[in-house]
Structure 1
Amino acid sequence: MSVSDMKQPETISTWYIDPDAEDAMADGHAPIWRHLIGLVPEPDLSRQAVLDFGCNQGGFLRHLHALRPFRKALGVDIARQSIDKANALKGNLPVQYQTDTKLAGWHAEFDIAFSHEVIYLIEDIEAHAADMLRVLKPGGVYYAVTGCHTDNPLWPAWRKLVAERTNTVVQDRSVTDYARVFAGAGFAVSARKLAFDGFIPYQPGGWTPDYATALDYYSQTKIVFRLIKA
């Protein structure tokens, strides 16, 4: 059975097989999160409800609230220990966390939603698109970010690394595949390159074979979808 034929479980213990990698992942994503927040044209979230799909340990919502405080937020993730850590770290933030990624019981609740490097792991992407459309208010926006797609020249090697290092199941989709699925669900679809303009740390033994490739990945390969519910 190939990796893409395997089924993603409803919940997992941790994303990474090595649990210490969870903290390292959050630290590595922090500059990308801040850059993404800077790209979002919605400046005032003070009266808005926010959804973070695939929230892991809650780091993105903590960054978002620090930069653009929101009224309330929900973070969902299939990793049970990640949700436990997110709850332990949230302090007094107006955030709720759960492992129910099907978002049962939520309807037209959120003004804005985010996912970062999550959609490539979702087996039933059509159901995910329908769920996200359902939980957003009319005019709500979903920002889905991924560099894990078949248009990425690193993808053949990366899909093996994801399978080896994590407790997840990868899916093979192109940028166009995602656009078609979200458009078919009823979203108005647009996208841009992340075009991260910050400094990229040199990390030998990371996900890219050389440093030049890492620089190209964050500036050219990583895509931000902007999906609007009519």
Structure 2
Amino acid sequence: MDPKVLIVEDDTNLVELLTYNLEKEGFATVQTEDGEEALVLAQEESPDIVILDWMIANLSGIEVCRRLRRSPATQNVPIIMLTARTEEADRIRGLETGADDYITKPFSPRELVARINAVLRRLRPAIAGATLSYADIEMDLGAHKVVRAGEAISLGPTEFRLLRHFLEHPGRVFSREQLLDAVWGRDVYVEQRTVDVHIRRLRKAINANGRSDIIRTVRSAGYALDSGVGQS
């Protein structure tokens, strides 16, 4: 699954340039020029990182950043802000609002790709390689194998994809609808309760032999991969 970038930018030429370069480097992209739509897409598309322009329609980039950080579903998504502002105070304001990095226009696409990779390596190391890991769980994508605490875990195809999605976004809460879109696909009709069935199967497999429950159920919200408490 390619890392997904949400591009929030109102300069059409720049969006086309960024989209081309990011997709060439193996990223999937989603674009919008509207701040309010960006908030919706961040919930629906579950991006791995957001490229956010300071000056956009309806909501400023700063306000979008602030709201993304307030929402449990998006509070851990890395954000890189783009801006023509060069003053130190503006850069500090962007970082204090919750941005993980800050690039001043003009910039080269190569620089942005390098910054994205650096942020992902730092904040989402799991998606930077062929092995995903969290706590005592390791998933070898090439060999299609899962190990917990050194012991091989047998998973069905759906449970494997479900665990992979969680491993790519540790700690993040996903609703049943978001999991359906990410694991089953938008073009497939599956009832939301199906998610609960596969979560139970996944739990049974990875929590066997008295291991701690690493999947957290968040009432009225969904599920998350969390080495802490199983319910909240």
Is the shorter-chain TM-score for this pair beyond 0.5, marking a shared fold?
A: no
Report the TM-score range of the alignment, normalised by the length of the smaller protein. Answer: 0.3 to 0.5
Q: Which has the higher contact order (CA 8 A, sep 6+)?
A: 1
Q: State the structure with more CA Rg.
A: 2
